[in-house]
C-alpha cells in the first residue's frame, strides 16, 4: 500500500499497494501505544458458457482433496495470532506446481483461510486479495471479515489466500533477516555523483544477490503474476467451485486481470478496486503514481492549512503553495542528522518519507501526519517511525513479515527492468519532478534498482488484455487515490468491457469498507450479478 524505501529501489518504481482496511488494522495496533459442493454456480453464471475443462496434465492439482483445520499455525505475526485463533475460521494449503512448465517437478503451497457461509442459498466461494504485491490475503480476511457486508458472509464462503511466496504460503520469499531489514532502512543514497551512483547500485546488486542465494533463482523465476493467476484456478477447483468469484484491491486488480485473460470462461464475478493499467510501461506507471502521491500531499496540505483553530497549528504553515518547500525544510536535514525515535533507533530520511507517504493513503491519517511532522521539527521521530514500521510490517519486538521482500521479488518478475543509464536517469528525474515532496534536494541519483540486477528475467510485459468470453466485471476507482490514480480504473474498465463505479474521495481503494452507497452496489453485483448502472457514482464521507 505504501511507497517503498529508495535504498531498495529507484524513487520512480511503483509503490507497494494494499487495501486501506488491511493497513489500518496494523497501524491502529502500532499507534495504540472441508471442500463443500458449490450451490447455484451454473445457474448464477452464464448457462451458455460452461467452465473451461481442467488441463489434463494438471489433474493431480485440480482434483486434490483439501483438509481444513485450525488457523493458529498460519498467522504470520504476533498481531495476527488472536484473529487467526477465532474458531469461525479454518485453514489449509493447496498444492500447485512451482513451475507450470514442469508439472511433475517441485511443488509450492498456497495458504487459504476460510469463513464458511452462514446462510443460504450458498453461491460458492468469494476470494480476496488485498494487494501488494506481497500482502497476505489470509491476514486481510482474518482482520476484515467482521467489517464486510453481512450478506456476503451469508451467501459465500469468504476465502483469503496468500499468493505464492507470501504470508503462510511456501516456499517463502525471505531475503533479509530482521537485523538486515533494520539496517537497510538506515541507508540513504542522496549523492548524485558517479561515486554515489556506484554505491547505490552496489547496494541494489547486493540485495538481488542475497535474494538469489537465500531463496533460489528457480523459486524467484516463478513468483510472478503469470503463475499466481494460474494458482487461482487450481484454488477455485480445489474448493469445489465451477466458477471464480473474486475481489482484488490494488495489485490484486493486476492479479484479477491476469486471471480473466487466462480463464475468462471460469469467471462468475470480478470486482477490481484500485486499478493497475496493464498497458502502462514501468516508466509511465511510476511517474503517474509519483504524481498521484504529490496530489495527495497537496490535498493534505490544503486541509492542514485550514484546520480548525482549536487544533495545533499546521506544521507546514497556512499557505498550501509553500507546503512542499516547508516539508522539505523539515525532513531533508535527516539525510545528515537522523533524529531519535525513543527505542534506540533513529528516524532516517528514507523512513520519514515512507512514513509520511503512508499517511497520504487515506485522509483519516492526515492528523497523524501533522503530528509526525511537528515531532521531527522539534527533534523527535517516533510517529513517522511508527508509520514507517507499519509499512514495513515490523512489530514492536523488531520482527518483520516477508511482505517487502515479496513485494520486491514479485515486482521484479512482473515488470521489464530499467537498465539503460539514460532511461534510468530519465525515470528518476521525471519521478522526482512529479513528487517533489519526497526529493532529497541534492539532485537525482541515477542508479539502477535491484530489478536491474535480478537473477531471472521478467515473465510479464505491458499489453492490452485479451478477454474474449469474459462476463461483466466491475471496476471501482477513487478520484483521489494516490497509489492507483483514478484514470487507470477508467482505462481498465474499458479494456475489460466492464462497469465502472466512480468514487469521490481521498483514499486508496474503497469497496466493502463501510460506504453504504458503494458496498450496496458491489454486494448486488457479487450476489445477484447486477451490474451497476452506467455512470454509477458514490462519495466517501470526509474524514
Tens-place pLDDT, residues 245-281: 999 999 999 999 999 999 999 999 999 999 999 999 9
C-alpha pair distances (Å), 193 with each of 185, 190, 200, 445, 454: 22, 9, 11, 7, 24
The C-alpha cell that represents 520 in the structure block: 450496496
User: Would residue 477 count as lying in a domain?
Assistant: yes
Verify that 112 and 235 share a domain, yes or no: yes
Of the residues 453, 484, 518, the one at which a domain ends: 453
d(CA 436, CA 443): 11
Catalytic residue among 125, 508, 511, 531: 508
Identify the H or E element spanning 93: strand 89-97
Residue 5 belongs to some domain of the structure: no
pLDDT tens digits for range 484-515: 999 999 999 999 999 999 999 999 999 999 99
Q: Looking at residue 250, what DSSP letter applies?
A: T
Angle value at C-alpha 281, between 280 and 283, nearest 5 degrees: 120
481 is an active site residue: yes
Per the domain annotation, does 95 fall within a domain?
A: yes
How far is the C-alpha of 126 from the C-alpha of 241, rounded, in Å? 10
Residue 128 and residue 96 share a domain: yes
CATH number, residue 155 = 3.40.50.1820
Percentage of the chain modeled with pLDDT above 90? 87
* Residues 101 and 210 placed together within one structural domain of the fold: no
Residues 241 and 114 in one domain: yes
Query: Are 213 and 265 within one domain?
Result: no
Residues 231 and 209 in one domain: no
99: domain range?
Answer: 34-173+223-279+463-539
Q: Which of 427, 453, 479 is the last residue of a domain?
A: 453
- Active site includes 463? no
Number of structural domains (the chain) is 2
**Residue 458 falls inside a structural domain:** no
Instruction: List the single range of 37-51, 295-309, 438-452 with lowest mean pLDDT.
Output: 37-51
Of 7, 250, 269, 409, the catalytic one is: 250
Q: What is the structure's pLDDT at 25?
A: 52
Catalytic (active site) residue 250: yes
Supply the pTM of this predicted model.
Answer: 0.92
Do residues 255 and 182 share a domain? Answer: no
Domain assignment present for residue 246? The answer is yes
| Residue 116 covered by a domain | yes
Task: Say whether both 251 and 114 belong to one domain.
Answer: yes
Would 6 be classed as within a structural domain? no
Identify whether 329 is part of a domain. Answer: yes
Q: Is the pLDDT of residue 54 over 70?
A: yes
Domain boundary among 395, 425, 453: 453
CA 30/CA 460 separation, integer angstroms: 36
| Residue 291 and residue 204 share a domain | yes
Residue 344 pLDDT > 50? yes
- Model confidence pLDDT, tens digit, residues 152-188: 999 999 999 999 999 999 999 999 999 999 999 999 9
Average pLDDT over residues 291-304: 96
Which of 172, 147, 403, 131 lies closest to 276 in space, CA to CA? 131
pLDDT band at 78 (very low <50, low <70, confident <90, very high): confident
User: Which listed residue (227, 481, 491, 519) is catalytic?
Assistant: 481
Same domain? 188 vs 247: no
Does 344 share its domain with 377? yes
Average pLDDT for residues 456-484, to the nearest whole number? 95
Using pLDDT thresholds of 50, 70 and 90, give the confidence band for residue 37.
very low
Judge if 193 and 229 occupy the same domain: no
Amino acid at each position: 500500500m505504501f511507497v517503498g524505501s529508495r535504498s531498495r529501489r529507484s524513487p520512480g518504481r511503483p509503490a507497494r499497494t494494499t487495501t486501506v482496511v488491511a493497513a489500518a488494522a496494523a497501524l491502529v495496533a502500532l499507534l495504540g501505544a472441508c471442500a463443500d459442493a458449490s450451490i447455484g454456480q451454473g445457474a448464477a453464471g452464464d448457462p451458455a458458457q460452461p467452465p473451461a475443462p481442467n488441463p489434463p496434465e494438471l489433474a493431480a492439482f485440480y482434483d486434490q482433496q483439501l483438509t481444513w483445520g485450525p488457523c493458529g499455525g498460519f498467522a504470520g505475526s504476533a498481531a495476527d495470532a488472536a484473529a487467526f485463533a477465532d474458531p469461525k475460521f479454518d485453514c489449509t494449503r493447496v498444492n500447485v506446481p512451482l513451475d507450470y512448465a514442469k508439472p511433475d517437478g517441485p511443488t509450492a503451497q498456497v495458504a487459504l483461510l476460510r469463513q464458511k457461509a452462514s446462510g443460504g442459498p450458498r453461491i460458492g466461494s468469494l476470494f480476496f486479495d488485498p494487494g501488494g504485491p506481497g500482502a497476505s490475503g489470509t491476514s486481510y480476511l482474518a482482520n476484515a471479515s467482521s467489517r464486510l457486508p453481512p450478506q456476503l458472509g451469508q451467501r459465500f464462503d469468504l476465502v483469503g489466500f496468500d499468493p505464492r511466496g507470501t504470508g503462510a504460503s511456501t516456499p517463502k520469499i525471505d531475503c533479509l533477516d530482521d537485523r538486515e531489514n533494520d539496517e537497510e532502512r538506515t541507508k540513504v543514497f542522496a549523492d548524485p555523483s558517479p561515486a554515489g551512483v556506484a554505491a547505490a547500485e552496489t547496494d541494489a546488486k547486493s540485495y538481488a544477490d542475497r535474494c538469489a542465494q537465500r531463496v533460489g533463482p528457480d523459486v524467484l523465476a516463478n513468483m510472478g503474476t503469470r503463475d499466481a493467476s494460474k494458482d487461482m484456478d487450481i484454488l477455485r477447483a480445489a474448493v469445489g467451485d465451477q466458477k471464480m468469484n473474486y475481489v482484488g484491491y490494488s495489485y490484486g486488480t493486476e492479479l484479477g486481470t491476469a486471471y480473466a485473460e487466462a480463464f475468462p470462461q471460469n469467471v462468475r464475478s470480478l470486482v477490481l478496486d484500485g486499478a493497475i493499467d496493464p498497458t502502462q510501461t514501468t516508466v509511465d506507471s511510476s511517474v503517474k503514481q509519483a504524481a498521484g502521491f504529490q496530489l495527495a500531499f497537496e490535498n493534505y496540505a490544503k486541509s492542514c492549512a485550514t484546520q480548525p483553530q482549536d487544533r495545533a497549528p499546521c506544521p507546514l504553515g497556512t499557505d498550501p503553495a509553500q507546503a512542499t518547500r516547508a516539508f522539505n525544510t523539515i525532513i531533508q536535514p535527516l539525510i545528515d542528522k537522523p533524529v531519535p525515535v525513543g527505542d534506540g533507533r533513529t528516524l532516517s530520511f528514507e523512513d520519514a518519507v515512507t512514513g509520511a507517504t503512508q499517511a497520504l493513503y487515506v485522509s483519516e491519517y492526515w492528523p497523524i501526519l501533522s503530528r509526525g511532522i511537528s515531532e521531527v521539527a522539534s527533534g523527535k521521530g517516533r510517529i513517522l517511525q511508527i508509520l514507517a514500521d507499519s509499512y514495513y510490517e515490523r512489530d514492536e519486538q523488531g520482527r518483520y513479515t516477508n511482505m517487502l521482500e515479496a513485494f520486491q521479488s514479485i515486482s521484479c518478475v512482473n515488470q521489464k527492468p530499467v537498465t539503460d543509464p539514460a532511461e534510468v536517469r530519465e525515470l528518476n528525474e521525471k519521478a522526482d519532478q512529479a513528487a517533489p515532496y519526497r526529493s532529497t534536494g541534492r539532485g537525482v541519483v541515477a542508479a539502477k534498482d535491484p530489478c536491474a540486477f535480478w537473477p531471472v528475467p521478467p515473465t510479464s510485459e505491458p499489453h492490452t488484455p485479451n478477454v474474449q468470453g469474459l462476463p461483466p466485471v466491475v471496476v471501482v476507482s477513487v478520484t483521489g487515490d494516490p497509489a492507483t490514480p483514478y484514470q487507470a480504473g477508467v482505462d481498465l474498465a474499458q479494456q475489460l468491457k466492464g462497469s465502472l463505479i466512480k468514487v469521490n474521495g481521498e483514499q486508496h481503494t474503497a469497496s466493502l469498507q463501510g460506504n453504504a452507497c458503494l458496498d450496496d452496489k458491489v454486494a448486488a453485483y457479487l450476489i445477484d450479478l447486477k451490474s451497476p448502472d452506467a455512470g454509477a457514482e458514490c462519495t466517501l464521507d470526509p474524514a
